Amino acid sequence: MRRGKGSAILLYGSVTALCLLWLVPVATAVMIAAVPIGQTRNGWWHAGFGDLTFDNLVEAWREALSGYAVNSFVIAVGSVVLTVIAGALASYAFARLRFAGKRVLYLLLISTMIVPVQIILIPLLPWLRTLGLSTGDLQFVGIILVHTAFGAGWAIFMMASFFADVPEELLEAARIDGARHGDILRRIVLPLALPGIASFAIIDFVFVWNDLLLGLSLLDREHQPLTVGLANLQSPHLAQENLVAAGSIIAVLPPLVLFAVLNRYYVRGLFAGGVKG
Amino acid sequence: MNIVLRRYRVRLVTAAVATVLVASACGGDDGGSGDLAGELRVVTNWTGSEGDAFQKVIDGFEKKNPDIHVKVEQVPFDQTQALLTQQFAQGAPPDVSVALPGIIRTLSGQHLLLDLDDTWDGWIADGDYPESLRQVAEGAEDATEAVYFKGNVNGLIWYDPTKLANWGIQVPTTWDDFLAAAGKVKAAGVEPFAVGGKDGWPLTQWADPVLLRVAGPDAFHDLADGKIGWDDDRVVQAFTVLSDLMRDYFPKNALAAGFIDATCARAKGTYAFQNQGAFVNSIAPAECDKNIKPGKTLAFFPMPAYDEQVPAAQAVSGDLFIGAKATKHEAATRALLEYLGSAEAQTIWAKLGGYIAPNLKVPADVYPTSNDQAAAKLWPKGDVEAGYDLDDWIGGEIQVTYTQALGQLVRDHSVDKFVTTMNKVDTRAAK
Amino acid sequence: MAQQTTTPATATRMPAGDARAAPRPARRRRGDRVAWLFVAPLALIFAGFYLWPAVQTILSSFFEWSLLAPFDPLDTSTWYPVGTDNYTAALSSDSFWNAAFNSLVWLIVFPVLVTGSALLVSVLIWHLGRFAPVFRTVFILPMTISLAAAGVIWSFVYNSDPDVGLLNAVLRVLRLDIAFDLGPLHVRTGEWLADIGSLDLGFAQLRLVNLALILPAVWAFAGFGVVTFTAGLSSLPGELVDSARIDGCRAGQVVRHVLIPHLRKPLIITYVVSVIFALRTFDIVYVMTEGGPAQDTTVLALLLWQQAFAFLTEPRAGVGAAIAVLMAVVMVFLAYPYLRSLMGGGSGDEAR
């Protein structure tokens, strides 16, 4: 494809401008997090290199967010592990087996992708209390199960399609060799579908990590995730933009790092999630 | 609707019995609930310098009770109600938490709070508190279920004495002088009032003193208790006065800036006055500018009387503490609550400033600045009538709607619409 | 049924299970049991922590209750049936219709902006060839950011103090202080999270501040559209575009006649997923304005949360549940065609 030089410059110029515009909010937060509050109040854009400091990040972490961050990790890792294990088992059945009730169950699972989470929100608290999952560290178990249930639809939707991509010939050969379903799943399907599973795991991690509503509504102050901690830090009664900005950087860092390291899987997951259907 | 309500009450009793059963079934580890030992969770709203001050108060308690460890958790003020709901619903509430009268009565109605009547009986007998303050701490069924920890007086007009002199304005003592002063600074190109309406609650800080001065304390209390509607003539008149004030003297960004922004902008000189509580005295130097000198560059005058016929009353607010019935350490919880209401504990914070001790036995000379002392002097000691913060008193949906409706009033100055909105959500008087 | 040879871009139906494993009737029940062993863990969690709570929500919307005195479907002593009162209470309150209107604004504006900006960006980047992935990353990046953090981050941009907020600082440098009235449209700049004007629609007033909240959500979500469109574009034969150009089509015509028809499916997906997303909106509003000033930015999801968790003096959880049911009904109605396509075009040929 050959185009005129002028139009190429125009194209690159406009895309670059758009990119810069897109990065402005993040750059704003990074700068406010990196300069003292006094500088922020007099225009952070006047700051020089000498003003840069890690104090805000350190203080936001120490004074406010470290506990929340630990909670977020426990909740996100727990949810992803449980969802991937339970989801992979079920996906094998959905992708490779026939069974009574399959279509109804699939419809119910898939509908979670459409129906707003609010449909389960209000009775959850009393229900978790009835189950004895509303106090102490058991709250983690409760919210992990809720996240797993809520992520089940996506899990099946994505992983089953990756499992379905595994060539039938391989499975047929294994079956002839007398392999059972557990072996087939473990030795053939899982290794081949691993990139797909990784994609789902990352997306699920980002999703759970970024949840505010469930964490806010179901957990006590000691067990709430980082998103809630950030909202609390933004509490309107204090002039601490520097800490809030630092907090927002801390809150977005883990998914961002995951994104940077595993970009390929993440995009592939989104791609599958979006384009299927 | 009445049947529904009655059913609801019946259900409350059932729920209460269940709660008691659960509570008694789970009671007592760490050597039982009778010992002064264990770890207590305390929920508060204070951060920054106020958080440090409260920690000093707690340090005093831990020194006295070495076997009790107190863990302080901070939650934002406007999320307290939701958080307490959730934690009481979870069945694992904090042992002690900060609470306002509206939620105290709600939780009390479900029999979730410790009864503190004996403690209060002692305080009243010893002259620690006037009887009128006890009413603020009362639960749904005449039992006192909270302690008053941090007092505050409202309707204080904060200003910078050096600047006021520059504008050639005397401290106003009458309503007309007050409006004239606002007009004068406005003519000089300075916005009269810093508001901070983005946070919602600063708007209610305007309504309380105006209601008390225009409608009078009787109408104020009747409105608070749901005995009269918002269309009562006295109430309508008060909100008309307020609405005119908003129209003539509120800045364009009254709803855009929050409390801290407004406070600091006033300190910078963008605004001449700020109608707020006594706590501004410590917040302005701590959050805006360390060079602010209470007494020299920061002072207040009480909002002047609107009508000499109306009996004087002081707008107050403040923070109370409740104890959860479901606590595993009842003795320790009670000890902490009793301590928080004591002159000993309150003196610790009073010395640090930005605080008014509700306990009458805290000596007047412990307050660090002249502003603190002047504000503490305004604190009702049984002599002058107190009007406790209207929306904190009512709580719930009415409180939220009230704050929102005041925001609307700032915008459209339509008292009719305000009254209609409020009467629709507050149906207590109609029942 | 043919063996599935799906690729991510073409799979359109639910995984059907493979035909060659189709059981003879005699083996069928045993096959069922094996399959259900695999499905059971997920199905149990799903039933216990999604289906049952959803059923509870629906049931409890016909009862009066609060979180402190909860409704329990299995305990008749907690039953205080009120018929459809919760629904009439919700539907007859100004707060509900105000929130519903704001949610409607989200439902209309958000998907249009997401789809439009993502389409523009994807097509532009697609032309870049070798460097496309680098640029694309910039637009996908905000997708990893939580909406709570996105709201916080944008609050800095919007800050009304021109010494803190970048947007107002730029306007100050440009000496722009826009304020104009154009018929029913009133616009003013400066107080981005409080009042930037309104559009009088006769039956309701659209507060433009809602747009200031939608923008960060678009920023955070457009990456989804970019990925979707890029997937669609990658399957577009380059010759098709070239030949169109050789035929003398200008850029605009290429987009209209070649790209858009080819991107029909990604367009629909982006649009529908944005609609789903728009109705759920809670985080951004909660973090940025808490529904204020007054109730200008309160959306249904926030109102529901307040009813159940914040308005405690009256037992309002049932009203919150009613709002949740109404939201779910609206969403299922709006997204039903999408749901059908997820199910594989509603083909009834699956084994049972």
3-state secondary structure of C182: strand
CA B70 to chain CA centroid, Å, is: 24
- Of A192-196, B158-162, C11-15, C22-26, the poorest mean pLDDT is in C11-15
Q: Could you tell me the two tokens for A217? A: 């509504």
Residues of C in contact with B396 (CB under 8 A): 311-314
For residue B346, give Cα distances in angstroms to A65, B350, B351, B357, C123: 30, 6, 9, 6, 66
Which residues, in sequence order, are bridge partners of residue B318?
A: B151
Which residues, in sequence order, are bridge partners of residue B388?
A: B316
> What average pLDDT does the structure give for chain C?
84
Question: Which of C138, C163, C317 is opposite residue A43, by nearest beta carbon?
Answer: C163
Tell me the pLDDT band of B161, cut-offs 50, 70 and 90. Answer: very high
Give the count of beta carbons closer than 10 Å to the beta carbon of residue B225: 12
Q: What is the mean pLDDT of residues C201-229?
A: 92
Could you tell me which residue, C102 or C247, shows the higher pLDDT?
Answer: C102
Residues of C in contact with B400 (CB under 8 A): 306, 310-311
The answer, for C88 touching chain A at a CB cutoff of 8 Å, is: no
User: Distance, in angstroms, between B88 CA and closest chain C CA?
Assistant: 7
Q: What is the pLDDT of residue B85?
A: 87
Instruction: Please tell me which chains touch A, using 3 or more CB pairs under 8 Å as the contact test.
Output: B, C
Residues of C in contact with A224 (CB under 8 A): none
**DSSP code, position C77:** G
Instruction: State the angle between helix axes of B101-109 and B80-90 in degrees (0 to 180), rounded to the nearest 10.
Output: 20
Q: Which sequence spans correspond to the domains of chain C? A: 2-56, 93-310
C281 to chain A: nearest residue by CA? A116
**Phi, psi of B215, rounded to the nearest 5 degrees:** -80, -25
Residues of B in contact with C292 (CB under 8 A): 198, 200, 255, 404, 407
Q: What is the mean pLDDT of residues B293-310?
A: 93
Rg (CA), chain B: 22
User: Distance, in angstroms, between C198 CA and closest chain A CA?
Assistant: 25
Cα torsion through B13, B324, B361, B298, rounded to 10: -110
Which residues, in sequence order, are bridge partners of residue B70?
A: B40
Q: Is the pLDDT of residue B180 over 70?
A: yes
Question: Which of A89, A125, A228 is opposite residue C42, by nearest beta carbon?
Answer: A89
> What average pLDDT does the structure give for chain B?
88
Q: Where are the beta strands (DSSP E) in chain C?
A: 179-182, 185-191, 195-200, 205-207
Q: Is the pLDDT of residue B154 over 50?
A: yes
Rg (CA), chain C: 25
Domains of chain B in sequence order: 4-153+317-383 (3.40.190.10), 156-314+390-430 (3.40.190.10)
Return the amino acid letter for A255. P
Residues of B in contact with A125 (CB under 8 A): 86, 89-90
Return the amino acid letter for C94. D
- Determine, for residues B253 and C194 on separate chains, whether the beta-carbon distance falls below 8 Å: yes
**Percentage of chain C modeled with pLDDT above 90:** 46
A110-147 pLDDT tens trace: 888 889 999 999 999 999 999 999 989 999 999 999 99
Tell me the pLDDT band of B18, cut-offs 50, 70 and 90. Answer: very low
Cβ-based interface (< 8 Å): residues of A facing B: 125-126, 128-129, 134-136, 139, 217-218, 220-222, 231-232, 235-240
**DSSP code, position B129:** S
- Determine, for residues C332 and A100 on separate chains, whether the beta-carbon distance falls below 8 Å: no
**Phi, psi of C286, rounded to the nearest 5 degrees:** -60, -45
Q: Is the pLDDT of residue C249 over 80?
A: no
A231 to chain B: nearest residue by CA? B76
Question: Which of A119, A171, A210 is opposite residue C324, by nearest beta carbon?
Answer: A119
Q: Could you tell me the two tokens for C327? A: 């939201």
Q: Is the pLDDT of residue B29 over 50?
A: no
Tell me the pLDDT band of B77, cut-offs 50, 70 and 90. Answer: confident
User: Which value does ipTM take for this structure?
Assistant: 0.91
Residues of B in contact with C94 (CB under 8 A): 421, 424
Q: What is the pLDDT of residue C2?
A: 34
- Taking the CA of residue B266 as centre, how many other CA atoms within 13 Å lie in the half-sphere pointing to its CB? 35
Q: Fold for domain C93-310?
A: MetI-like fold (1.10.3720)
- Determine, for residues B89 and C70 on separate chains, whether the beta-carbon distance falls below 8 Å: yes
Q: Is the pLDDT of residue B287 over 70?
A: yes
Return the amino acid letter for C246. I
Q: Is the pLDDT of residue C19 over 60?
A: no
Cβ-based interface (< 8 Å): residues of B facing C: 4, 7-8, 11-12, 14-15, 78, 81-82, 85-86, 88-89, 102-103, 105-107, 110, 112, 197-198, 200, 252-253, 255-257, 261, 394-398, 400-401, 404-405, 407-408, 411, 421, 424
Q: What is the pLDDT of residue C202?
A: 85
Q: Is the pLDDT of residue B119 over 90?
A: yes
Q: What is the mean pLDDT of residues B57-66?
A: 95
76-95 in chain A: CB under 8 A from chain C: 82, 85-87, 89-90, 92-95
Q: What is the pLDDT of residue C348?
A: 34
Residues of A in contact with B45 (CB under 8 A): 237
Q: What is the pLDDT of residue A122?
A: 93
User: Are the beta carbons of A217 and C309 closer than 8 angstroms?
Assistant: yes
Sequential pLDDT tens for chain A (277 residues): 455 677 788 888 889 999 999 999 999 999 999 998 888 888 888 888 888 999 999 999 988 899 999 999 999 999 999 999 999 999 999 998 889 999 999 999 988 888 999 999 999 999 999 999 998 999 999 999 999 999 999 999 888 888 888 888 888 888 888 888 888 888 888 888 888 888 899 889 999 999 999 999 999 888 999 999 999 888 655 668 889 999 999 999 999 898 888 877 777 776 665 544 3
The answer, for A22 touching chain C at a CB cutoff of 8 Å, is: yes
- Which one of A65, A114, A140 would you mutate to disrupt binding with C, by most C Cβ within 10 Å of its Cβ? A114
Question: Which of C18, C35, C276 is opposite residue A114, by nearest beta carbon?
Answer: C276
Q: What is the pLDDT of residue C15?
A: 53
**Percentage of chain A modeled with pLDDT above 70:** 94
Nearest 5°: the CA angle B398, B399, B401 is: 65
Q: What is the pLDDT of residue C266?
A: 86
Range of C17-26, C45-54, C301-310 with top mean pLDDT: C45-54
Return the amino acid letter for A170. L
Q: What is the mean pLDDT of residues C19-25?
A: 47
209-268 in chain A: CB under 8 A from chain C: 209-213, 216-217, 227-228, 230-231, 234, 241, 244-245, 247-248, 251-252, 255-256, 258-259, 263, 266-268
Tell me the pLDDT band of C145, cut-offs 50, 70 and 90. Answer: very high
